[in-house]
Every structure is written in structure tokens, then in C-alpha cells.
Amino acid sequence: MSTEIVTINRLGAQGDGIAKTESGAVYAPFTLPGEIVALAVNRNQGTLISLREASPERVQPKCRHFGPEGVNGTCGGCSLQHASDALYHGFKRNLVIDALKSKGLTPEVAPLVVARPGERRRAVFTARHTEKELLLGYNQAQSHHIVAISECPITSSGIVSRLATIRKIAAAMASGSEPFRITVLETETGLDLAFEGLKLSDRQRRATVEAVLGERGVARVSLNGEIIIEPVKPSIDFGGVTVSPPPGAFTQATRPAEEAMATLVLDHLGKAKRVADLFAGIGTFALRIAHTARVHAVEGEDKALKALDFAARNTQGLKPVTVEKRDLFRRPMMAQELKVFDAVVFDPPRAGAEAQCHELARSGVKKIAAVSCNPVTLARDLSILVTAGYRITSVTPIDQFLWSAHVETVATLEK
């Protein structure tokens, strides 16, 4: 390890500052372009020692848990709280622009739909029982060390105000000193707490039930997908359709981002009468689309699909919604199957939808809406469609993971 004085040239894809040195690129968290910094360098990783010259784009972080000098250590939940809004928003938009350019795609990219503090309705905490207390917080960046949090400016007040309740329930469930995860989702009826990585004895199960009954605002507690107690069914509203998600189900992290994505998708579909929603999840798009069009929702996860189906069947005024359980990575919908649809929406995991896009490219479907959490795989998928004669009509980056390097995108295409 050596100490070096370097100038930060740019931000990398993960939000780290990158300095060019004689031995190659060095990645330094908590630094910004144009800054002159002292780093402790180990191979290509730099740890900030001191700022010799700060960027005018550097701002005071909003949270005391952030940064190399945080009160309780460096929280791994955020990576860019020290960047101005202008720099940060440009960084996120450029992630999408650069990914598209790498595939020879140069459509106009809209301004970032911004995220604001306090919008996150879903958070994943790490917890561990120590001799003194139960630690609850986020893992330090690139570490198993848990930074216990007392605030979190990105997360909704409905979650932050109940951190003591979450700790109480976690303490009742904890055994030994091994860390475990808690996915917390704020729903219309209360918090949905999904625990992973624990084994419960009968005594702990009873203690958990007692802890939940002694607190307000908790809709459900589950462990590894099994419901421990459910005082009231958790519910989420998708454009006027109420859905009860299964334990630990995927949902968009913020309501405003979800609404922005849904508006872009629905506006693009226009007067389409028959739509396929691929990688449909619990119905984020399918149930909204069903107000005006017949929908065929395809999803590989059984519990998510059942939640979508139940919601559709129990909501009056929707067009018919059919569901199909199908692993679209191994068995994508074929071009011949897709030809009966006016439009297709797809929202895959980070790996993207390469196999499915090859079939879409052959199908001739008039309109496609692509939703993605990974600009790199989105660019690959769009290039497949563009090569087959589709035209990109819009690309909109959407932020819902505030002060991180993650960006959502909605791209619309026409044949």
C-alpha cells in the first residue's frame, strides 16, 4: 500500500472517482471529478485520506452515517450524497447515454426523473445480535460490518419512525451472532417484514408473535417466505387495483418512480387492445393496463403470479387478464405466440431479456415498452430490436435509488 496525491478525472459506473496514475486507473469512493486528493492506494483501490482541493460540486452530506468520517462508520446504503444535484443527476443520465452509445444507439435521452429524500418504501436491512444489543442497519461498503443507523434520509418516515419496532421484532427472532436480512416494505396497511437467514425455535416464534401484537403498524412478519403472523394483509395500490404481495415480493422501491414508469408505459400503449406483459411480477403494469386493454401476464415466480391473478379476479371493471407461469429466460414467448398482441411490455431482472428480444424482433409487434434496472443489458436488448427494424421513440431515465449508482429506464419502440 502507498500514499499518492492524485487528481480525480471522472466518476465511474459505480459512483467512485477515477484517477489516472502511472500504474493505471485508481478507484476512490467519496471523491468527485476535478478534486485533488490524498489516497491510500492498494492496487487499483484508493481510500480517501484527505481532500487537498475540493470540487465546487461537493456538498454537505444529508446523513451523519454517510462518508469516510461518518459518526458510526461508512454506511453502504448511499455512494453519492457528497455530490451536487446537478452533478448527480447528470451522472445518472449519462449512465444510460453511455450504455446506449456502446451499442451504437444515439436516441435522445430525456432528463432524469429525479428521486427525493423520504420516498423509499422498501429497504433491506442487515441485523445481528451482539452481547450488548441488536445491531440494525446497512453493511459498510464492501464489508460485513453493520453500521447501526438512527436515521435514513432516503427512506420513508413510515419506516424510519418504526425502527425501534423493527429492532424489537428482530431481537425476538434473533439467535446466535450470525447476521440476517430484513426486507421492509411499507404498504397501505402497515409494514411487511420479510426475514431471511434465521431458524426459529417454538419459543422464538411465540416471542415474535407477542412482539408484533404489542406494536402498531405491522401488517405481516415472515421468515424465508413462511408467514409467522399476519394481523392484516399487506396491500399495495396499482392504479386503483389492490394487490396483496407475497412475502418478500419484488416491488418498485418508490411510489413516485413507479407512477412515472407506469405513465410512460401507458401513454406509449395508447389504444392497444391486447397487450402482453412479460416478467409481470405482481402486476405493476399489467393491472394498470387492464383498465383499457386485455392483458396476458407472464411471470416465472408462482406466488407473484397468484397475487396478480387474485387481484385481477377480485377487481371490478377490468378487461380480461390471463396469466401464465413461464421461465422467460429458458422458454421465451415465441414470435408466433406474440403476433396476436398489439403491444408488449417487458420488465426483466438485471440480466435483461436477450432471448426474449430475439423473439420480439421476429414477431412484428407494433409497440414495445422496455423497462430496465440495468442500462448495459437494456442497451444490448434495444440493439437487437433496432437491428430488426424497430425505432426507439423515447428513452427516460428514472431515479428511485437516491444517491446510488442504480438507475431505472423506460424505453419505447415502434415497428
Question: 6-25 pLDDT, tens per residue?
Answer: 999 999 999 999 999 888 99
Measured CA distances, 206 to 172, 201, 210, 351 (Å): 9, 9, 6, 40
Domain 122-229: CATH architecture, name and number where available: Beta Barrel (2.40)
CA atoms within 13 A on the CB side of 311: 31
What pLDDT is recorded for position 75?
A: 82
Q: How confident is the model at residue 130 (pLDDT cuts 50, 70, 90)?
A: confident
Instruction: Identify whether 63 is a catalytic site residue.
Output: no
Q: What ranges do the domains of the chain cover?
A: 1-57, 90-115+251-414, 122-229
**Would the annotation count 195 as a binding residue?**
no
**For a pLDDT cut of 70, what percent of the chain falls above it?**
98
Q: How confident is the model at residue 70 (pLDDT cuts 50, 70, 90)?
A: very low
Q: Which residues, 6 or more positions from 133, have their beta carbon under 8 angstroms from its beta carbon? A: none
The pLDDT tens digits of the residues spanning 329-369 come to: 999 999 999 999 999 999 999 999 999 999 999 999 999 99
Return the CATH fold of 1-57: OB fold (Dihydrolipoamide Acetyltransferase, E2P) (2.40.50)
**Would the annotation count 347 as a binding residue?**
yes
Q: How confident is the model at residue 67 (pLDDT cuts 50, 70, 90)?
A: confident
Grid cell listed for 301: 415466480
Quote the radius of gyration of the chain (alpha carbons, Å): 23
**Would the annotation count 4 as a binding residue?**
no
Q: Do domains 1-57 and 122-229 have the same CATH topology?
A: yes
**Would the annotation count 279 as a binding residue?**
yes
Number of H helices, E strands in the chain: 10, 21
Closest C-alpha to 232, from 192, 278, 285: 192
Global pTM reads: 0.94
Does position 282 have pLDDT exceeding 90, yes or no? yes
Domain 90-115+251-414: CATH architecture, name and number where available: 3-Layer(aba) Sandwich (3.40)
Measured CA distances, 292 to 267, 268, 298 (Å): 12, 13, 18
